[in-house]
Amino acid sequence: MVELRIFILVVKIVVIAELNITPLGEGTSVGRLLAPVMEELKRLGVKYQVTPMCTVFEAENLEKVFEVVKSTHEVVFKAGAKRVITTVKIDDRRDVKVESMLEKVESLKKILEEKK
């Protein structure tokens, strides 16, 4: 009797994106216009990290990244902005298992610890 074993490798693809939304002509304090972006990210169910200069998030595919970008861009207009500039950087690696945002940071920390 021949035994047949089938292995299926499931690789979760993670696309990481950096999102910078800038309302123009709204003065130097724009937190009231950007707070709804955080609410929208929660609603969309993506993992995200806010930094002083941008927001980084991860999604399961490129389509989801563009959905998030469009939706968060629009929410700033709904909050009252009349002009919005949105810049996006996308890290989409498909040749190996992609690390999540957290895994990338932990990997860097590990390298730094090894150098001590």
pTM for the full predicted model: 0.80
Q: What is the mean pLDDT of each run of 10 residues along the chain (116 residues)?
A: 62 84 90 95 96 93 97 97 97 79 84 84
Phi, psi of 79 (to 5 degrees): -80, -5
Q: Is residue 38 part of a domain?
A: yes
Q: Is residue 107 part of a domain?
A: yes
CA proximity to 38, closest of 24, 25, 19, 60: 19
Report how many domains make up the chain. 1
Q: Quick one: pLDDT at residue 102?
A: 83
- Three-class secondary structure of residue 88 per DSSP: strand
Q: Give residue 80's region: left, alpha or beta (phi > 0; psi -120 to 50).
A: left
Residues 6+ apart with CB under 8 A from 32: 79, 80
Q: Is residue 10 part of a domain?
A: no
